[in-house]
Structure 1
């Protein structure tokens, strides 16, 4: 799986990130998985055309010592569809920029 991983988090960092994610993205599923909705203006042509599959998401797993962001664009209403694919450059950058901005906002240095 292609991912953006931020590791070596301190427990204080984990707690700040968890509080932020719970507030911003809702309660995690399976205890540690957050679904982050992707902005519509960065969807690729196939994803934009699949209105019934929207919204599209990135999955982020928060553990006490690391934050793992999958680069697979997912949907919730189907197990498989042509619009599910690895993120393109614009989508990857959007996700990494978002995670970096969260860390900056929370004053977490990694």
Structure 2
């Protein structure tokens, strides 16, 4: 899996990051996994045509001192479609900007 990893995060900063993710992402059935919705204007042509597969998201996984932002766009509605794919350049920029904005907003040191 391809991902953008931020590691060596202090415990107090991990608490801030978890709060940010609970507020700005969709929670999952796992406490350490979140989904961030991709804006429709960044969808690939195939993803845009697949209304039934929306929303499209990327995963954010957290560990004791790290946060991993997956560079894979998936649907929460089905696993049996051709539309999930690794990020395009614009989608990748969105994922990395989401991560970097969170770090800047929360003043997380790494």
TM-score category by the smaller chain? Answer: over 0.9
Give the SS at the match of 2:107: coil
Moved beyond 6 Å, runs of 4+ = none
Give the stretch that moved more between structures: 10-19 or 25-34: 25-34
Aligned residue pairs total 110
Structure 1, gaps ≥5 residues long: none
8 Å CA contact 1:22, 1:28 repeated in 2: no
Work out the CA distance in 2 between the residues paired with 1:14 and 1:80.
34
- Are positions 1:18 and 2:18 aligned together? yes
| Residue in 1 that maps onto 2:83 | 83
| Residue in 2 that maps onto 1:27 | 27
Work out the CA distance in 2 between the residues paired with 1:84 and 1:47.
8
| Residue in 2 that maps onto 1:55 | 55
| Residue in 2 that maps onto 1:3 | 3
Work out the CA distance in 2 between the residues paired with 1:55 and 1:11.
32
Pairwise CA RMSD: 1.0
**Alpha-carbon displacement from aligned partner over 1:2-58 (angstroms, at most 9, x marks no partner):** 010001111011000001111122434312000100011110100000011011000
| Residue in 1 that maps onto 2:103 | 103
